[in-house]
Structure 1
Amino acid sequence: MNQELAEELHRRAEKDEAARYHVLETRHDTEMCRIDAENTAWLERVIVEHGWPGISIVGELGAEEAWLLAQHADLSPAFQRRALELMKTAVVAGEASARRLAYLTDRVLVAAGEPQMYGTQYTNDPDDSNLRRQPVADPERLDERRAAVGLEPAAEYDRRMRS
């Protein structure tokens, strides 16, 4: 395991989360966007040097944090798509979470204007009055797809998102 890399992932993930809480409190996302851009550039360099930072390289927590940085790389859709492909391979190899892959899959699809597969992505009206799930492909089989990757039923997730 690469302890130094795991520690840097942890530091960056903590900064990422703190920036998101700050946005909730202040409605200003400038700092969050700056942190996301820094984390994306850093993760791109890590991938070039080490490949996808999977469990055997950075441990389970580090692999989750690598996913988090890729999930929040919205300012770089091409990188997010690349991360998605690398993470698919990592899941097959047991190096990443299928559950987290579902979130990144949906994020990439929604960013491309396509319906999501797992129902993990929501949007809000500009005035925060209406939280709603982004469109889903084949909604009749949504819970089946969610269960296959270890996600709770869509109705339960929807309740949690709204609370």
Structure 2
Amino acid sequence: MNPLPLRPDLARDLLLRKQRDQELRHEWATSPRTARSPEVVDRANTEALRRIIAEHGWPGRSLVGPEAADAAWLLAQHADHDHSFQWECLALLGRAARDGEATGQQLAYLTDRCRLNSQVPQIYGTQYIVLDGELVLYDLEDPENLELRRADVGLECFAESDARIRSTHPLTTARPQ
């Protein structure tokens, strides 16, 4: 049983922001011509996360609970418009993961996202890009040791992850297999 978070007000805010983020992304993925781009929400969420971090540090499990801590990670993950802030979040998230306040999976995803946005090969194989209308795994550093790195942070094997992503991504589900 998880203890109550120290700041349930922050937890509620983060969870509402995550919900809106996911709703907009779903609308955008299913109706890109008519849905609003998530960019406006991403910018507002980034500023909210920046304020929370400035006042409280990384919003980890103790502060906001595991679900809201996951929401904070997602907001950082979607702060693609502010690469320096994403890298700041990565450093904070790394310390949080070492202290048990965040997960290794969150750290892996944000590591790969920061590297993708810096045009550096990813480490854990979590990030995809669209090239010529096809979903493609972004460049990978040291592919021979990918499974070891994924296991170290608690990620499922790459083949299972890749199959799951491809089975649910709108680009791959929109056309017959």
TM-score normalised per structure 2: 0.88
What residue in structure 1 maps to residue 32 of structure 2? 27
What residue in structure 2 maps to residue 82 of structure 1? 88
CA distance in 1 between counterparts of 2:164 and 2:97 reads: 26
RMSD: 1.1
Candidates 77, 98, 106, aligned match of 1:71 = 77
Q: Are positions 1:62 and 2:68 aligned together? A: yes
Matches within 5 A, 1:134-145: 134-145=138-149
CA distance in 2 between counterparts of 1:63 and 1:47 reads: 12
Q: What displacement does 1:75 show?
A: 0.7
| Unaligned segments of structure 1, at least 5 residues | none
Q: What is the aligned length?
A: 161
Identity of aligned residues (%): 44
Structure with the largest fraction of helix: 1
CA distance in 2 between counterparts of 1:117 and 1:30 reads: 32
Deviations 1:21-68 (A, max 9, x none): 011122157541000000000100000000000000000111101000
SS at 1:124 equivalent: strand
Q: Is the 8 A contact 2:73 2:106 kept in 1?
A: yes
Q: Are positions 1:50 and 2:76 aligned together? A: no
Which structure: larger Rg?
2
Deviations 1:67-102 (A, max 9, x none): 000000001111100000000010111111111110
Q: 1:126 to 1:15 in 2, by over 3 A?
A: farther
